[in-house]
A and B are shown apart, each in its own frame.
Chain A
Amino acid sequence: MGSRLIAAIVASAWASPVLAQPPPPAPVPITAAVESTSYPLALTERPLLMPAGGFELFGILALGLQEIGGLDGPETLETVVMKPGIRYGIGSAEVAAGLDLLVHQGEIEGVMFTNDDPLTRLFAGARFEVSPELAVGGELAITGPTTDFKVFSPRATLANKQHFGRGAVELGVAAGLDHRPAQDMFELPSRQAMVLAGQLRVQGQVTPVVAVEARATMTYFNVLDDDEGELESSPSYFVQQSYGLRALGSVTPDLDVIGEFEVLASGEGNYKIVSIGVAYRRVP
């Protein structure tokens, strides 16, 4: 009797028109509705590296505001720098290059700026995918490449990105040297500093197309040739940190609009940078 009742209930259930209806739709990922390529629209879902064959062109216009002591007390020095660059995916690796172009250098009475060359920095690097969340690489930056005081900055890099739904955390580490060659004209010895840097990026995808990111960067400099005479009054090591907030709007799957506010120094010598930019990419 009991088994017949159970069989009847089961048979009734299978015959139920409710079960005959299609199942409710599965939850739709945040990017699926508007994404036209395999590259995620949401910043928090993007991989560390560009996919193979894909490229990204970006340009950042940065307005720097730095308080400097002039003849009439502290004044604000305005600097405008254009930062174009490119990223390109090759297999499981990515190569990148960029440069900084000085567009405008403000003037302060009593303070002389010797660098009239617009090219202020060159950068090139490559990263290799160890796993989808981990990449290692190397890069070389040259600051003041056309001046007598150029600084070569080779780095080994490591980056990790953890995705948490609509949040993500990126942790980057870089280690290397800053090397400035000797300058005979000014009788300056060469200068080397060991550099270790860490960077944390915390990202929140506020809407499907708008993400907000907080960034903290901390860099440790150990001056290796402190006993050469030039740096007698300098510390043997120091730590430099900067913080920033960034908003990224994905106008289309191929185009981002970026706004950023960054603080490099506080208190005396307040140094802030306000940036806007765009990034255009094509991913096969």
Chain B
Amino acid sequence: MIRAAVVLVAGCAQSYQSARVVAPGKTQITGALSRTESISEDDDDGAIYSGDVQVRQGVSDRFDLGLRLVRTPGAGEVLSQLGVDPKVQITAPDSTTTLTVALPISVAWAEEGDEWGEGVLVLTPTVFVGIDLSPAAELVMAPKVFVFLPDGKTDDSEVEVGGSIGVRFSDASKTWAIQPELGLLHISEGDDGASFLTFGLGVSAGN
């Protein structure tokens, strides 16, 4: 169970987006690959990889909406997460330091061939802090809380914490970006819980 939870959290712990919202009328598409590994002493299982596809649409100066799919590779047991990701920018659009809040809502599930597991609802309140290091680089920090609601029953819910930090390289046109990111996760399952480190790279393009 803990491995499945890690994969689910690993997917949404990474951000691969600017702290700024996408400009109104603009569309941005992102592909990313992440690698998650335990940093706890008693967990020597191998690394878990996951792929990430996002589409974000700018709605207004301070609001954009994203659609995001995260899936593990392979043809055997696959873990997936599909959700919508609304984001509201608190600071002014032209500020050099950006503060944004997001509330991704997603469904996570496991499948193996034609056998599908029950879905889990995942809420991920996130705060984005973006600092312009230069006109071509933005430091993006995104602490998050993960709320798992199995079968929609709140009495079985779990709450975990994590976050990501990365640098988003782009240019003034914003028609492309690459974003290497580190993510740290803590899962409270078990006596001491477990911590996981994720590294990934996202590539974005859009109008």
Interface residues of A (CB under 8 A from B): 44, 67, 164-169, 200-206, 212-216, 218, 221, 234-245, 261, 263-272
Contact = CB atoms under 8 A, between A and B. Distances in A.
Interface string B159-175: 00000000001010101
B78 interface: yes
A265 B76 CA distance: 8
Nearest to B46: A270
Given A165-B173, A214-B201, A269-B74, A243 B33 contact: yes
Nearest to B32: A214
Contact of A239 (B53, B78, B171, B201): B78
B125 interface: no
A206 B169 contact: yes
A203 B51 contact: no
B112 A235 contact: yes
B203 interface: yes
Contacts of B41: none
B47 interface: yes
B20 interface: no
A216 B114 contact: no
Contacts, number: 134
Contacts of A213: 203
The DSSP consensus for interface residues of chain A is: strand
B114 A236 contact: yes
B9 to A, nearest CB: 15
Nearest to A168: B205
Most buried by A among B72, B173, B175: B175
The DSSP consensus for interface residues of chain B is: strand
Given A202-B31, A214-B203, A266-B73, A44 B176 contact: yes
B175 A165 contact: yes
A266 B72 CA distance: 7
Contacts of A271: 74
Contacts of B207: 164
Nearest to B113: A235
28 contacts: A164-B175, A165-B173, A166-B176, A167-B176, A200-B29, A202-B203, A204-B203, A204-B205, A214-B33, A214-B201, A235-B114, A238-B75, A238-B114, A239-B111, A241-B71, A241-B73, A243-B51, A261-B33, A263-B33, A263-B49, A264-B74, A265-B73, A265-B75, A266-B72, A267-B72, A267-B76, A271-B74, A272-B49
B205 A241 contact: no
Nearest to B175: A165
Nearest to A214: B31
Nearest to A267: B48
Given A169-B29, A235-B114, 17 more contacts: A164-B207, A167-B175, A168-B205, A200-B29, A206-B178, A214-B30, A214-B32, A214-B33, A215-B31, A237-B113, A240-B75, A243-B31, A263-B33, A266-B74, A267-B3, A267-B72, A270-B46
B139 interface: no
A200 B206 CA distance: 13
A218 B72 CA distance: 11
